[in-house]
Amino acid sequence: MDFSDTPQEAEFRAEAQAFLAANAKLRPENSHAYRSRAFNDEDVQHSKAWQATKAKAGFAGFHWPKKYGGREGSQMQAIIFAQEEEKYSVPPGIFNQGVGMALPTIMSCGTPAQAERYARPALFGEEVWCQLFSEPAAGSDLAGLRTKAERQGDEWVINGQKVWTSNAHFSQFAMLVARSNPDVPKHQGLTFFILDMATPGVEVRRIKQISGTSNFCEVFLTDVRIPDANRLGAVGDGWKVAMTMLANERFTVAQAEGPDFDDILPLVKQVLLDGKAAIEDSAVREKLAVWYCQAQGLKYTRLRMQTALSRGKTPGPEASIGKLVSASKLQEIAAFGIDLLGQSGAVMDGELAPYNAWFQHALLYAPGKRIAGGTDEVLRNIIAERVLKMPPELRVDKGMAFNQIPTGLR
Amino acid sequence: MNFEFSDDVTTMREEVHRFLTEQLPAGVVRQRIDAGARFDEDLWSKIAEMGWLGAAIPEEFGGVELGYEALCMIAEELGRALPSVPFASSIYLAGQAIVLFGSQAQKTGYLPRLADGSLIGTFALAEGAGDPKPNAVHARVTAGRLTGTKMPVFDGMVADFAVVAAQAEAGEPGLFIVDLTAHGVTRRAIESLDLGRAAAEIQFDGATAELLPLAQDWHAVTALLDRAAILFAFEQVGGAQAALAMALNYAQNRYAFGRPLAALQALKHKLADIYVLTELARSNAYFGAWALDSNAPELASAAAAARLSANEAFYQAAKENIQIHGGMGFTWESDCHLFYRRAKQMAGNLGSARYWRNRLIDRLLTQNENIKAA
């Protein structure tokens, strides 16, 4: 066992460090970076500029082909760069959907003309992508989506509603899955499209979340016309294309953000319980020890996966562990940070509550972390079925034509 | 970045795994316990022949010096197979105490015989209920003679000698080697939760005690416990994995309501959670192995995290393995209880979870202070 970089990795890390030092500012120590507001136009401009700077210097699209501006490097390089970038104050990443998910999918399932058209603008931060998958009636059961796609000559006409779309309000393009045939079983009747968000009939509304902020949108699609040239993959192959894309997602959202053990530790050293630092209290110690063990366990599980990656293996469904454990840990730590303050736990004034009311904010974003990118329950099913090889869930809609499936509405 | 066992150790694991599977087909561990054997002497001598006992003993003292990574891997495989052998007592505890703190003469005298299995050692720390604390040690050595009572001493009936924690004439408790077959030692078997790790109560009444020269204070005891905790954690991870595999196998093959139990979501989620606990414990144990192998400054916190995670994973896996087996799991012949018993024996043996949580937090606080001061 050896935590040091291989000579090639060390060389790349040094390159990344030199690039970052020349182009960004170090993040101050102990800065609790969280954002209680949604991205605004200025954030988006900064993010685009930073993405362009990285892409021009060869620090984006690490495993993309060179002909599209990529590096033809390794997944390890992407990891090393992310580790180094984390030490700097840089604009928020809004390109994961495009660079990390849409374009790799277009490159593997689309035509060369499509890849040619969309790759560079995404990589260089000119075009932002979002994902039009979930619907009000299709979340974990994504294949039950109802947005209709009807062929009319060389075009498709789309009608329906999508939801939980991050970044839709400033995205230029979307990956869209819609139902092109309701008369066949649900997985077989889907088709995948590239949608220009400026097309007439696309209406984006912000969703107000339980925290009061709006990070997500709902997208209404009314008689939206998409040229057949913007179809990705064959008619009826939408599920296959979507799965290709989601395979990339679970690894990218592998870890929920803080507060984590390192954030609660300073608080329990400051807060007094019965006249003594909370850290002296054995009930507090017990909780802290559990979170430390979880945080360390996740850290080293990640390193084990990186080892597999650096040896050219693909991370499997084991990657689900990171999100499953970290999302609940975050929620518990947030709740505990509030409990610790007793009568003032519910104070959300940033001047009065520790760390600019981070724990209170976290309490309100934590529930979303347990849902987005696969709910706790779906992740447990994935681990049970794909890692432990337990039987799949009974599906009463199996083999049934989509329009015959009970919905509770008809 | 390489956070995996080396290729050599991985290759050796296959051998170790195959050997233990061949030697201990299903039911054999229990049958040998039922037959009333003190311990599995036949397996012990075979293990000695394979060189496992000397994995972390230097070559100059008769070991094969494969390193701690190899010993961790062996520990994991033994945890899976659950044999009744005094491996933990003799190798992780007594053997390591001599490797770390012994004089040249003690090393020459004991290590080659520990490595070839002709001598069995154990560790005598506890004096009844409670956690490892200097003020809980009442056994005392005066003019080279030990008096006091140790209980429980695991594998105490089969060991030839013990490394005993006792108060020296001045200062904190240190570690002494005591011949358990000599005059002034009375031992009696006491019933143990873990049927494969029989316990003893040992009374010392003027027995000859020989100081381990580098173990004159409590520091030595905690250093030994830290290192043993990591090896224990690998056994526990192996045990958790085996109990999970057993539960999974049963759930896949037992049908109820027209389908395998494994198809029920309540069971899928339960086993998914146990898999997650086991993988987190494994990752923490890996970091412990690295810390052990490199004698890293993080060794103490790594040991505590490894131990606490492994305790939890093993106990949950063993407990739910019985539950998933239903009434069958409650029978002696199901073997589920062997894991359940060992999980609790191992969780207490080096001190309770509460003790290790406190040590972890204390350690992290001083690590933090040190970072601040620097």
Answer yes or no: do A3 and B1 touch at CB < 8 A: yes
pLDDT digit string, tens, across residues A183-195: 999 999 999 999 9
- Bridge partners for A151 per DSSP: A156
- Which residues of chain B does A281 touch, with a Cβ-Cβ cutoff of 8 Å? none
CB B233 within 8 Å of CB B288: yes
Q: B295 CB near a chain A CB, below 8 Å? A: no
* Best residue in A13, A264, A293 for a mutation probing chain B (most B CBs within 10 Å): A293
Reference B63, options B96, B14, B85; nearest CA is B96
pLDDT band at B374 (very low <50, low <70, confident <90, very high): very low
Query: For A200, which DSSP code?
Result: T
Reference B246, options A361, A360, A388; nearest CA is A388
Q: With a cut of 50, which residues of chain A have pLDDT below it?
A: 253
- Interface size A-B, in CB pairs within 8 Å, comes to 137
Q: What is the rounded CA–CA span in Å between residue B352 and residue A60? A: 49
- pTM of the predicted protein model: 0.95
Q: What is the rounded CA–CA span in Å between residue B280 and residue B236? A: 12
pLDDT digit string, tens, across residues B15-45: 999 999 999 999 999 999 999 988 999 999 9
The residues spanned by each domain of chain A are: 11-24+38-123, 129-247, 254-371
Helices A282-310 and B353-373 cross at an angle (nearest 10°) of 80
Q: B281 CB near a chain A CB, below 8 Å? A: yes
pLDDT for the residue B372: 45
- Alpha-carbon gap: A105 to the closest alpha carbon of chain B (Å): 29
CB B185 within 8 Å of CB B203: yes
The fourth-level CATH superfamily of domain A129-247 is: Butyryl-CoA Dehydrogenase, subunit A, domain 2 (2.40.110.10)
Which residue of B1, B275, B286 is in closest CB contact with A310? B1
Which residue of B4, B271, B361 is in closest CB contact with A304? B4
Element (H, E) at A165: strand A155-166
- N-term to C-term CA, chain B: 27
Lowest mean pLDDT across A28-42, A285-299, B155-169, B263-277? A28-42
- Alpha-carbon gap: A74 to the closest alpha carbon of chain B (Å): 14
Answer yes or no: do B69 and A1 touch at CB < 8 A: yes
- Which residues of chain A does B358 touch, with a Cβ-Cβ cutoff of 8 Å? 282, 285
Please give the domain boundaries of chain B with CATH numbers for all domains.
7-115 (1.10.540.10), 121-217 (2.40.110.10), 219-373 (1.20.140.10)
- Which residues of chain B does A308 touch, with a Cβ-Cβ cutoff of 8 Å? 4
pLDDT for the residue A90: 92
Answer yes or no: do B4 and A307 touch at CB < 8 A: yes
pLDDT digit string, tens, across residues A214-253: 989 999 999 999 999 999 999 999 999 999 888 766 555 4
Reference A203, options A149, A166, A162, A144; nearest CA is A162
Answer yes or no: do B280 and A388 touch at CB < 8 A: no
pLDDT digit string, tens, across residues A46-79: 999 999 999 999 999 998 999 999 999 988 898 8
- Which residues of chain A does B290 touch, with a Cβ-Cβ cutoff of 8 Å? 1, 3
- Which residues of chain A does B303 touch, with a Cβ-Cβ cutoff of 8 Å? none
Q: What is the rounded CA–CA span in Å between residue B232 and residue A80? A: 33
pLDDT above 70 covers a percentage of chain B that reads: 98
Answer yes or no: do B1 and A76 touch at CB < 8 A: yes
Which residue of A286, A321, A380 is in closest CB contact with B357? A286
pLDDT digit string, tens, across residues B91-121: 999 999 999 999 999 999 999 999 999 999 9
Residue of B nearest to A392 (CA): B263
CB atoms < 10 A from the CB of B313, how many?
Answer: 31
Q: B256 CB near a chain A CB, below 8 Å? A: no
State ipTM: 0.95
Average pLDDT taken over every residue of chain B: 95
Q: Give residue B371's identity as a one-letter amino acid code.
A: I
pLDDT for the residue A33: 53
pLDDT for the residue A63: 87
- Which residues of chain A does B293 touch, with a Cβ-Cβ cutoff of 8 Å? 1
pLDDT for the residue A363: 96
CA angle B351, B87, B29 (to 5 degrees): 105
The residue written with tokens 């430390």 in the block is A292
pLDDT band at B55 (very low <50, low <70, confident <90, very high): very high
Element (H, E) at A166: strand A155-166
Q: Is the pLDDT of residue B172 over 50?
A: yes
What is the CATH class of A254-371?
mainly alpha
Which residue of B1, B263, B284 is in closest CB contact with A293? B284
CA angle B271, A254, A315 (to 5 degrees): 75
Which residue of B279, B293, B368 is in closest CB contact with A301? B279
- Alpha-carbon gap: B284 to the closest alpha carbon of chain A (Å): 5
Reference B260, options A249, A30, A390, A278; nearest CA is A390
Q: Is the pLDDT of residue B188 over 70?
A: yes
What is the SS3 string spanning chain B?
CECCCCHHHHHHHHHHHHHHHHHCCCCHHHHHHHCCCCCCHHHHHHHHHHCHHHCCCCHHHCCCCCCHHHHHHHHHHHHHHCCCCCHHHHHHHHHHHHHHHCCHHHHHHHHHHHHCCCCCEEEECCECCCCCCHHHCCCEEECCEEEEEEEEEECCCCCCEEEEEEECCCCCEEEEEEECCCCCEEEEEECCCCCCCCEEEEEEEEEEEEECCCCCCHHHHHHHHHHHHHHHHHHHHHHHHHHHHHHHHHHHHCEECCEEHHHCHHHHHHHHHHHHHHHHHHHHHHHHHHHHHHCCCCHHHHHHHHHHHHHHHHHHHHHHHHHHHHHHHHCHHHCHHHHHHHHHHHHHHCCCHHHHHHHHHHHHHHHHHHHHHC
* Best residue in B234, B268, B287 for a mutation probing chain A (most A CBs within 10 Å): B268
- What is chain B's length? 374
CB A129 within 8 Å of CB A122: yes
- Which residues of chain B does A260 touch, with a Cβ-Cβ cutoff of 8 Å? none
Answer yes or no: do B275 and A383 touch at CB < 8 A: yes
Cα torsion at A362, A367, A369, A375 (round to 10°)?
170
pLDDT for the residue B373: 46
- Which residues of chain B does A4 touch, with a Cβ-Cβ cutoff of 8 Å? 1
- Bridge partners for B210 per DSSP: B177
pLDDT for the residue B371: 46
Answer yes or no: do A4 and B4 touch at CB < 8 A: no
Residue of A nearest to B67 (CA): A1
Q: Please count the CA atoms within 13 angstroms of the CA of B142 that sit on its side-chain side.
A: 8
Give the rounded distance of the alpha carbon of B24 from its chain centre: 19
CB A128 within 8 Å of CB A95: yes
Answer yes or no: do B309 and A292 touch at CB < 8 A: no
Fold of A11-24+38-123: Butyryl-Coa Dehydrogenase, subunit A; domain 1 (1.10.540)
Q: Is the pLDDT of residue B129 over 90?
A: yes
CB atoms < 10 A from the CB of A72, how many?
Answer: 12
Measured between alpha carbons, how far is residue B20 from residues A285, B28, B53, B77 in Å? 40, 11, 15, 8
